[in-house]
A and B are shown apart, each in its own frame.
Chain A
């Protein structure tokens, strides 16, 4: 398959792994920011293959994981108590809030539907004018433009029974928080390639300059990831805190101007809470007050309750910031599993804890 097989070719992967091992004069600590990258590194067995040369940490880049339980509770409450049609992407439906998941809400009588695009939710609202339809929108800058498009389309078409419960988050401020952690050990970052296709990577130049950490824009296929890691190792070995694009077939410095215009038209940058990390300054996007009628928070008077997101023993905040590897958390596999998640990184398949649990580790020890 074009643009896929060539990035999974076994011989090229073996050669790339060898080059990275040879280039490492010491064991560097590199963080991938995106859950898709974490998933791919473990699914394709790249992390254990590089274990001697690189310590890979996995950042908070799973939008499903970092969505606060309070947001899910609000969605559940809308479907059960306000009798609205609640729609969202498939993997959001399994994530537990404090009052269960949306799939459980559906079993209790809530009208909860999977959609594959926010525009499908608008379309549903148009075809069912008797129902209030809410789209639960989460994700980084990758999914936010589609949400923005849906909001603008609903506004243009004067759809009166549609609104969005939005919790979109921004990656770069989370990276800043991790880089500023005095206990942090990250020496280089793999920036999320899909996010950069929207935002570009110009803002990372200031980030690299100010933090002294190299940033490599990286894709998701095995050879994309290996190219990103190899580039990061080269920067670390030569002491350069620069930004390099190792995902040039998709990401451009300026990003996608059309998508950025959509974001600007609908959202403003805001301080928002991340599950497991607390409130991150400028860490998210809120719907402009001029579009309040399409904002489910405004429409239904929702306020997120400020409740502790994780149990006392759960150390997901340290996992999300790279201070702790998932198997070193005392709850990992010991009451905290993908079926019974206790913290953010175990709730979705792309969370670091869930990815370790599924692909690499069991009971805290590697068996690959």
Chain B
């Protein structure tokens, strides 16, 4: 959005919607069509003074103090899945990365790489989702970028969002974990991974698993206000809860044990996992976080989470002294086994 000149209106503007149903390469080549795409579809939708200025950079006012910044790229097939779509994913993913870092999300950038031939209707639906997700979280879209690339150079649409937030509650992070701390999750695990897998492969589960794609701002801000001794928070995206536990364990140099009987897993996700031989702890979440709190504080933490949009929040385990295997699972038979660290995407077993 580098064109800061006044918008020139040709006598017969080739409105995007009149150029056929699909996006062509010409819309990415920086001229009049690119400007129309930006004006008609971006500025018109997300209009705010900063964005409308269309400067080379967004000029924003940040409060004094520390800021948090994060960026993430989003590719998902299909673009629309039960419970969400790539637009919501791109906003909530970055918003959640900020909020679990103790920051209140304020500003977002959005970069789009669009495959030539993508229907305008698809782009519009995604952008509507981006707008709805921004509205739900009170975050402003202030800058961005648009590229259109030849067919098959990308899979339909890739989004990248960068977020800036105001640090409200700095956390010690996993280095601050202590033996005896308790581990919680904010809701049922593995829902996003199961939903996308089932939608992509058209398994036909009825009802289909629904993604948990959503914002974490409400429960986490509630934790800040409750002044709880939270050690660290993490949204359990790719690699699922297991990846978070392994990472925390490695940083802290301590063990973490979770109990399979305590894990909240919805019936639909469980059915998918049992049928395909997948582990719910390895499946991605997009609106569920893992929390570690000082020992003895789990019930207070649960009460806050449950009162703020996380009715299925649960205590799932505890931090232990260092063990030879960092993350462990207590089985229903009462034994502890190593919790496998996810490697690559979950692949169904043959039998």
Contact = CB atoms under 8 A, between A and B. Distances in A.
B336 interface: yes
A368 B338 CA distance: 9
B201 to A, nearest CB: 6
Nearest to A63: B350
A269 to B, nearest CB: 20
A342 to B, nearest CB: 18
B331 A44 contact: yes
Contacts of B332: 8-10, 13, 44, 222
B333 A44 contact: yes
Contacts of B225: none
A114 B345 CA distance: 12
Given A222-B332, A367-B325, A114 B347 contact: yes
A140 B350 CA distance: 10
A93 B270 CA distance: 24
Contacts of A154: none
Q: In the complex, which range does the number of interface residues on chain A fall in?
A: 35 or more
Contact of B351 (A8, A36, A94): A36
A143 B277 CA distance: 15
B8 interface: no
Interface string B315-348: 0000000011100000111111110100110011
Contact of B350 (A8, A10, A44, A91): A91
Contact of A139 (B261, B270, B351): B351
A4 to B, nearest CB: 7
A49 B330 CA distance: 13
Given A10-B261, A45-B331, A339 B343 contact: yes
B127 interface: no
Contacts of A359: 337-338, 340
Nearest to A67: B350
Interface in A193-234: 194, 222
Interface in B47-82: none
B21 interface: no
Nearest to A339: B343
B267 interface: yes
Nearest to B350: A89
A43 interface: yes
A93 B332 CA distance: 31
B113 interface: no
B274 A49 contact: no
A138 interface: yes
A139 B323 CA distance: 37
A358 interface: yes
A349 interface: yes
B201 A138 contact: no
B349 interface: yes
Contacts of B344: 94, 103
B276 to A, nearest CB: 8
Contacts of A368: 335-337
A19 to B, nearest CB: 14
A9 B333 CA distance: 8
A148 interface: no
A335 interface: no
Interface in A33-89: 36, 42-46, 48-49, 63-64, 89
B351 A358 contact: no
Contacts of B340: 358-359
Interface string B193-214: 0000000010100000000000
A307 interface: no
A368 B325 CA distance: 10
Interface in A131-156: 138-140, 142-143
Contacts of B335: 44-46, 48-49, 368
B338 A45 contact: no
A17 B331 CA distance: 14
Interface string A1-26: 10010001110011001000000000
A126 interface: no
Interface string B253-282: 000000001000001001100101000000
Nearest to B274: A4
Contacts of B347: 90-91, 93-94, 114
A367 B337 contact: no
Nearest to A45: B335
A8 B259 CA distance: 14
A309 interface: no
Given A93-B347, A143-B350, A362-B325, A10 B334 contact: yes
Most chain A beta-carbon neighbours within 10 Å: one of B270, B276, B324, B334? B334
B337 A89 contact: no
B348 A45 contact: no
Contacts of B350: 63-64, 89-92, 138-139, 143
A142 to B, nearest CB: 5
Most chain A beta-carbon neighbours within 10 Å: one of B324, B332, B347? B332
Interface in B280-316: none
A139 B351 CA distance: 8
A92 B347 CA distance: 9
Contact of B333 (A49, A94, A138, A339): A49
B218 to A, nearest CB: 30
Given A1-B267, A13-B334, A45-B336, 19 more contacts: A4-B270, A36-B351, A42-B337, A44-B331, A45-B333, A49-B334, A64-B350, A90-B349, A94-B347, A138-B350, A139-B351, A142-B351, A143-B350, A350-B349, A358-B340, A359-B338, A367-B323, A367-B324, A367-B325
| 7 A-B pairs with least C-beta separation | A45-B335, A90-B347, A45-B331, A359-B337, A89-B350, A90-B348, A10-B332
10 contacts: A10-B261, A10-B334, A36-B351, A44-B331, A44-B333, A45-B333, A45-B334, A63-B351, A350-B349, A359-B340
